[in-house]
Amino acid sequence: MSTKQDNMNRNPTGKGGFQERPKDRNNGRWNKDDSISYQYNKLLRMSPEEFEEFVPITMAQKIALQRINNATLTDGLNDTKEITDRTEGKAQQSIDMTSNGETIGKSVEVVWATKKK
């Protein structure tokens, strides 16, 4: 069964949309300035004078600034680790998958139950 589809153009005048408002168009590309890691790197490269005068504009800048300020405190080890992992990359970690002949865990006895007839 087919239906008659006349005049399916819902915008016959062609007005509206991104042609008239190109500022609303998103090109879909990721912007490095929006990432916290980029802001970490940017702030860490600043001189102490530039860092003191810096005023965050975006939330990524605000988060990065707060974490860097926390990292300079005496109990800022976690913040320092986070910033270092994001800017320098996580340190390589190895995992030993062998048991070296040791017994791992407890042994389990399996008992099969039988139905009474």
Q: Give the domain ranges of the chain.
A: 32-88
Question: Taking the CB of residue 29, how many other CB atoms lie within 10 A of it?
Answer: 6
The label of the residue with tokens 């680790």 reads 81
Render pLDDT for 89-98 as a digit per residue (tens, 0 to 9). Answer: 888 888 777 7
Higher pLDDT, 81 or 93: 81
Distance between first and last Cα of the chain: 62
Backbone torsions φ then ψ of 44, nearest 5 degrees: -70, -25
Q: How far apart are CA 44 and CA 46, in angstroms?
A: 6
Confidence of residue 55 (pLDDT cuts 50, 70, 90): very high
The label of the residue with tokens 């940017």 reads 42
Render pLDDT for 2-45 as a digit per residue (tens, 0 to 9). Answer: 556 666 767 667 666 656 666 766 677 777 888 888 999 999 99
